[in-house]
């Protein structure tokens, strides 16, 4: 496995479980409710953005982090 650069840092794809990734994301984004959907196999987040709540969805943790940043700006 080769490490690839991501928003979470360098980690081998598939090396961390969904639970471990969720813990990392929750620590980095404490004001965001986020989870991995075991049936959809997608990542989800609910966050306050521009005075309202926003639901975002992504295929992986990096994409979710990017979607959260975009929703906040």
Residues 19-66: tens digit of each pLDDT: 888 999 999 988 899 999 999 999 999 998 888 999 999 999 999 999
C-alpha–C-alpha distance, residues 24 and 68, integer Å: 15
Distance CA(9)–CA(53), nearest Å, equals 28
Q: Is the distance from CB of 22 to CB of 34 less than 8 angstroms?
A: yes
β-pair partners for 10: 5
Distance CA 68, CA 29 (A): 9
The answer, yes or no, to whether residue 8 has pLDDT greater than 70, is no
User: In this predicted structure, what is the pLDDT of residue 32?
Assistant: 92
pLDDT of residue 11: 52
Q: How confident is the model at residue 12 (pLDDT cuts 50, 70, 90)?
A: low
Adjacent-strand bridge partners of 52: 49
- Between 2 and 72, residue with greater pLDDT: 72
CA neighbor of 22 nearest in space, from 12, 37, 6: 37
């Amino acid at each position: 496995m080769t490490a690839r650069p991501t928003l979470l840092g360098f980690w081998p794809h598939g090396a961390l479980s969904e639970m471990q990734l969720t813990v990392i994301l929750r620590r980095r984004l404490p004001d965001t409710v986020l989870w991995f959907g075991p049936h959809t196999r997608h990542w989800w987040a609910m966050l306050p953005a521009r005075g309202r709540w926003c639901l975002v969805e992504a295929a992986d943790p990096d994409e979710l982090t990017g979607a959260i940043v975009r929703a906040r700006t």
